[in-house]
Structure formats: structure tokens, C-alpha cells
Amino acid sequence: MEFSILAESFNKMESTRKRLELTQFLVELFEKTPHDVISKIVYLIQGKLRPDFEGIELGVAEKLALRSIPKSSGIPIKKIEDEYRKSGDLGHASSIILEQKTQTTFLVEDITVERVYETLFKIAKLGGSRSQDMKMKYISSLLNDATPLEASFILKILLGTLRLGIAENTVMDALAVAFTGEKENRKKIQYAYNVSSDLGKVAETIATKGIEGIEKFEIILFNPIRPMLADRVKSEAEAIEKMGNEFAAEYKLDGERVQLHIEGDKVALFSRSLERIESYYPDIIEKIPKNIQADNIILEAEAVAINENTGEFLPFQELMHRRRKYKIEKAVTEYPISVNFFDVLYCNGKNCMESSYKERRNTLEKHVKEDEFAKYIPMSIVRNENEIEDFMENSINAGSEGLMLKMLDKPYQAGSRGSHWLKLKREYRNELGDSLDLVVIGGYFGKGRRTGNYGTLLLATYDEDEDTFPSICKVGTGFTDESLDQLYQILNPKVSIKKNPRIISEMEADVWFEPELVIEVVASEITLSPIHKAAMNAIRKDSGLALRFPKFTGKIRVEKAVEDASTNEEVITLYKGQKKIAHDKNLM
Ligand code: AMP
């Protein structure tokens, strides 16, 4: 297929944001696309080469792409840089420049979608010391044969700046219309996508096998399933209203959701956003296969950091220590976890998603053996408000966030948020009962609408004993455009090249401020934190306290001296108070 067809289509799509128009452009494009190219087109539309879970990244830096243009065009790099600076978009700049191309090429090879795709694929696969040169060679060879419009889109795909604004839903609408003539078939297509997370494969199936092929679409082991999500409820009474008079309550653990695909010793782990995460959990890879009593299985679990001595669940932040490229073995010993299973989606070659919650829980308990490392998530069948509150108390005391409530007779609905699962977190009051006045110690540059301002601030308490400012949270919500501007005006003169020694923070910031300004925030909760330094060691050794979901109230307390900010003592009192409130509430 000629790449020019795709480039022209992209060009039209870039000119609109209207979903109906985009769908129509896509339908026209799909109708022109040979069936063996359709999956490639679907990936390219989304600026990808393969589904996300395969983790194939193009990873071409702007500089490299910049250097590839003159090679193919004979245009001096300076000129390209100037144009780039003007428009801020290399794809666009290159098309303007290539219009003025001085060097004519004689041996022009056709640019087809297949050729572009395969070249991009080779570039993505390249690594090692000589890879930069090779990448440049590949890019140059494509640009050499491309028209300016084609070149601009090749560059945008390469740099990851192709932003057609086409959501997966729009692609699925267009597939339904183009290949079945009926938009209603979208539901079946959606199901195929939910179980495979691979829109390219879905497109190819519908193009080659029609809706019958889609109806036969099955779970594929090692292709992640899009997770089922839960609605939120505010109270036990609301939960009962929505769920009826008998349902399951599970601990809502505060860890990382992991989807495990297992066959023999082969294990794949996917995060909630369906990325591969094996490298953070070598202990899961090593230990879990021994707990499985099935030929193959797809499971869902929450991996949670634990205190090995007490078995207590630790906050999510602890797990983040494992998100590192190097020395993962050390992190594995320092931050032990348990794997808490809560669902099974596939077992011994059979799809379990249609089975009810009750049946799935039975299957889970039959095919997964428990031990110190692998657990079933604590569950209880509840029938009234008292029973929910009772179980909530156990859950909070064990260190979890609240409860997940699940209907007993309902299937697993991949990829959707619905009322068959509800989450009930510990109730937020105002939210902590009190606001806090905190010292601004660091800033992070904003993105999008916040460019040019500090989009997020790093905040600290006042430690009266040490006369220091230990970090307690980052805050990035609650700001209006006006308050961001105002804060920028106040904070900019306070930027210091070196971190003031009174600032105690392990967190890095884009800029450090002299600790001189106090702002007011509210938050939902105070939690133990391995990263923040406020009230370090006061509650637990090697842990500080952090604010959960902090929000700026709009009050810049310019009248306050930093020594009048909330102290560690006050934060400790609030932390203890909230434990007590949760406890008392659950006893009532
Ligand atoms: P939220 O992120 O607040 O929307 O809550 C959903 C998340 O809670 C899931 O993605 C899981 O990571 C986590 N979770 C913790 N415990 C459970 C459970 N028992 N069942 C399902 N999800 C759970």
C-alpha cells in the first residue's frame, strides 16, 4: 500500500478534532487498506508499532532525527534548526524545508506502508554502540524517497509526536462500520479488544474473518486482558442500596495490581496499564509457579509491601523502591512483598470470565496453593451495614485502604468500570478534620497549560526541635491559573541554586526555594512514608509521615512566618487522631 495514502489521510485527520469526522476519515482509510496491512495501519494511527504490552519503543531522539534530514536533502542543519525553533514541530518543519530541497535524488524507491513500518521496526530493535549511525542511515533512506508530506509523518511517528487524537473507541467504531456496515457490532469488537488488548490483531481478524471471526475471539495466554474496574461508593448504606442484601467484601489493599499469566515455569506479569513488570518482581517469577496447580492460568493479584515480622501491609510508596533498573535484588530483600490473589480469568485452557464471582473464587482456591508469599485476598460474605463495618475495621487495622465489594453472581467484565464491583474507602471527613499550613521548599515545572509556571510544589512541615523543614508531600491540585501565576511571582525570587541546608528532603525538585513561604492545604489522610521526612521515626523507625491526596486551598499565607507553619508534633497528633476516628467509627 502506498504510504502517500496514509500520509494524506493523517493530514486530513490532523485538521479536525470532531469524533464523527475522524471516524469517517478512518472508515475511508480502512476501506482502501489491503487486509494484510490493516494491523500495521492501526498501530501507526496510535503512534505505535505493536500493542503496548510488547514494550516496543521507537526511542529516536530529536537530535538524531534532526541530523538525518540534511543527509537526505542536502539542506544545512542550521536551516532546519531555525525552522524547527519557529514551529516547535520537527515533522512540520521538515516538510517546509523539504519543499525547498536542493538535492534531487535519482534512484527513488517507492515508499509503501510496509517499507516504512519495517524500517521503523528495525530502528526500534537496534541497540548497542553503533546503533545511532544505523538508525540515522535507516531514517535518511526513508526521508530520501519521501515527499515532504510523507517525511513529516514519518518523523512524527519516529519522535512520538503524531497526535491525531484518535481514541481506541473511535478506531473500533470505524472498524465496525468499514467491515460490517453496522455500528452496533462495535460491542463485539470491544469484547475482542478487552480480552486481547491488541487492537491491530482485532482489526486484522475483522478484516479477514468478519464478525464471525470476532465472535470466536478467545483469550490468548500471555496477551493481557484489560482489567475490570470499580465504581466508588461513599457509605455502607449506599453499597447495600446498589448491591442488594448479600455480596462479597474483600480487603482493598494498597499495592500494585498484577495480572499473572502462567504456564509451567513461564510467567508474564502485567501492570494495571498492561505494561510488562517482570523486572520489578523477580521473587514472583521465581516463587509463584510452585503454588499453581493447573497447566496454565491467568490470575489477578495485588502485590503489597509487607512488614515481614508482623505481616502488616505497608503503604504503596514502599513498593516504589522496586521501580528501579539496577540493584533490583537488593530492593527485593529490603522491600519484601506478599502476592494477594483476588481473581482468576482463565484456567486450564478455559475462559473463566463468564463464570460468576463465586465460581471464580472457588476456582482460584482450587488451583492456587497458599503459603507465606502467596495469599488469597481476605474475603467475607456480608449482609448488612454492621457486617460491612466490622470487616472494614479488620481491613483498616491490617493496613489496607478500605473494601472492594463484589456481586456474587456476576461475571468478570474486562475493560469496564461498572457497578458489579464497588470500592468503599475509609470515609474522608474534612478530610483530616483540619487544614495544614506548610512551607514551600521545592518546585517542579508545569506542563501543558501550566508551562512556564510551577505546576507542582514540594512542601514541608516545621521541625521545632531541629529548626528544619522536612518534606511531607508534593501538591499539584487545587491551583487555578491565577493562583499559579501569583505563586510564580512570589516564588521566583526565592529560587536558590543550592538546597538550603534547613530543607530536609530525599526527593529531588526541579528548583529549590529559600524556605520563606507558607501555603494552606487539605488532605484525605496522613500515611507512613519511606520517602518523606516529616516526623521521621516518630511513629515507626525509618518512616516519616506524608499527606495523601493533598490539595491547595487557595490560601497563600503570606502573613505567616515559616516558623508558624504546622509542626511535626501537630502532624503526629493528626495522624494518631485519624487512627482513633477510624477505630471509634467502626466500633459504633
Ligand atoms: P482505584 O485505584 O482506587 O480505582 O482502585 C482499584 C484498584 O484497587 C485496583 O486496580 C487494584 O490495584 C486495587 N485493589 C486492591 N484490592 C483489590 C481487590 N480486593 N479487588 C480488586 N482490586 C483491588
| Atom 18 of ligand 1: nearest residue by CA position | 252
- Residues 202-205: contacts with CB within 8 Å, 24+ apart? 202/172, 202/175, 203/30, 203/38, 203/39, 203/41, 203/42, 203/171, 203/175, 204/35, 204/38, 204/39
Is 252 designated active site? Answer: yes
At residue 47, does pLDDT exceed 50? Answer: yes
Mean pLDDT of 429-434: 55
Residue 200 belongs to some domain of the structure = no
> What residues form DSSP beta bridges with 457?
443, 475
Q: What is the dihedral of CA 87, 88, 91, 94, to 10 degrees?
A: 50
Question: For residue 441, what is the enclosing H or E element?
Answer: strand 436-445
End residue of a domain, out of 392, 411, 428? 428
pLDDT of the residue at 560: 75
Report the chain's mean pLDDT, rounded to a whole number. Answer: 88
- Residue of higher predicted confidence among 306 and 578: 306
Kindly give the distance from the C-alpha atom of residue 9 to the centroid of ligand 1, in angstroms, as a whole number.
40
Pocket test for ligand 1, best of 257, 275, 380 (most atoms within 8 A of CB): 257
At residue 238, does pLDDT exceed 80? Answer: yes
Residue 126 belongs to some domain of the structure = yes
Q: Ligand 1: residues within 6 Å at CB? A: 230, 250, 252-253, 257, 272, 302, 342, 377, 404, 423
Question: Do 349 and 494 belong together in one domain?
Answer: no
For residue 372, the domain's CATH number is 3.30.470.30
Distance CA 198, CA 429 (A): 42
Residue 332 belongs to some domain of the structure = yes
Question: Do 248 and 384 belong together in one domain?
Answer: yes
End residue of a domain, out of 375, 403, 428? 428
Question: Do 343 and 381 belong together in one domain?
Answer: yes
Residue 349: which region, alpha, beta or left (left: phi > 0; alpha: psi -120 to 50)? left
| Atom 7 of ligand 1: nearest residue by CA position | 257
Residue 40 belongs to some domain of the structure = no
Kindly give the distance from the C-alpha atom of residue 23 to the centroid of ligand 1, in angstroms, as a whole number.
34
Question: Do 234 and 368 belong together in one domain?
Answer: yes
Residue 275 belongs to some domain of the structure = yes
Kindly give the distance from the C-alpha atom of residue 229 to the centroid of ligand 1, in angstroms, as a whole number.
8
pLDDT of the residue at 431: 56
| For the chain, percent of residues with pLDDT exceeding 70 | 94
Question: For residue 389, what is the enclosing H or E element?
Answer: helix 385-397
235: closest CA among 477, 433, 424, 4? 424
What is the DSSP pairing of strand 374-376 with strand 337-347? parallel
For residue 515, the domain's CATH number is 2.40.50.140
Q: How far is CA 348 from the centre of its chain?
A: 30
pLDDT of the residue at 464: 85
pLDDT of the residue at 321: 80
End residue of a domain, out of 142, 159, 176? 159
Question: Do 371 and 464 belong together in one domain?
Answer: no
Question: Do 371 and 449 belong together in one domain?
Answer: no
**Residue 251 carries which side chain, given as an amino acid letter?**
Y
Question: Do 390 and 307 belong together in one domain?
Answer: yes
At residue 430, does pLDDT exceed 50? Answer: no
Mean pLDDT of 40-69: 87
173-194 confidence digits (pLDDT tens):
999 999 999 988 999 999 999 9
Binning pLDDT at 50, 70 and 90, where does residue 35 land?
very high
pLDDT of the residue at 91: 74
At residue 587, does pLDDT exceed 70? Answer: no
Range of the domain at 391: 229-428
pLDDT of the residue at 559: 67
Distance CA 279, CA 274 (A): 14
Distance CA 197, CA 216 (A): 16
Q: How many domains does the chain have?
A: 3
Residue 575 belongs to some domain of the structure = yes
Residue with cell 537488593: 330
SS3 401: coil
- Residue of higher predicted confidence among 500 and 130: 500
Identify whether the C-beta of residue 447 lies closer than 8 Å to the C-beta of residue 259: no
Mean pLDDT of 419-430: 73
Q: What is the dihedral of CA 566, 572, 573, 579, to 10 degrees?
A: 130
| Atom 11 of ligand 1: nearest residue by CA position | 257
Sheet strands (E) in 247-363: 247-252, 256-263, 266-270, 296-305, 337-347, 350-351
Ligand 1: nearest atom to the Cα of 255: 12
Question: Do 349 and 300 belong together in one domain?
Answer: yes
pLDDT of the residue at 577: 78
Kindly give the distance from the C-alpha atom of residue 537 to the centroid of ligand 1, in angstroms, as a whole number.
29
pLDDT of the residue at 359: 98
Question: Do 468 and 445 belong together in one domain?
Answer: yes
Question: Do 481 and 575 belong together in one domain?
Answer: yes
At residue 211, does pLDDT exceed 50? Answer: yes
For residue 303 the three cell numbers come to 502485590
At residue 103, does pLDDT exceed 60? Answer: no
Question: Do 463 and 525 belong together in one domain?
Answer: yes
Question: For residue 374, what is the enclosing H or E element?
Answer: strand 374-376
164-173 confidence digits (pLDDT tens):
778 788 899 9
Residue 179 belongs to some domain of the structure = no
At residue 203, does pLDDT exceed 80? Answer: yes
Question: Do 378 and 487 belong together in one domain?
Answer: no
Q: Residue 434: how many CB atoms within 10 A of its CB?
A: 14
SS3 301: strand
Q: Which pTM was predicted?
A: 0.71
For residue 482 the three cell numbers come to 491565577
Distance CA 14, CA 11 (A): 5
Ligand 1: nearest atom to the Cα of 377: 19
Residue 186 belongs to some domain of the structure = no
For residue 102, the domain's CATH number is 1.10.3260.10
Mean pLDDT of 467-481: 91
Distance CA 269, CA 27 (A): 35
259-294 confidence digits (pLDDT tens):
999 999 999 999 987 889 999 999 999 999 999 999
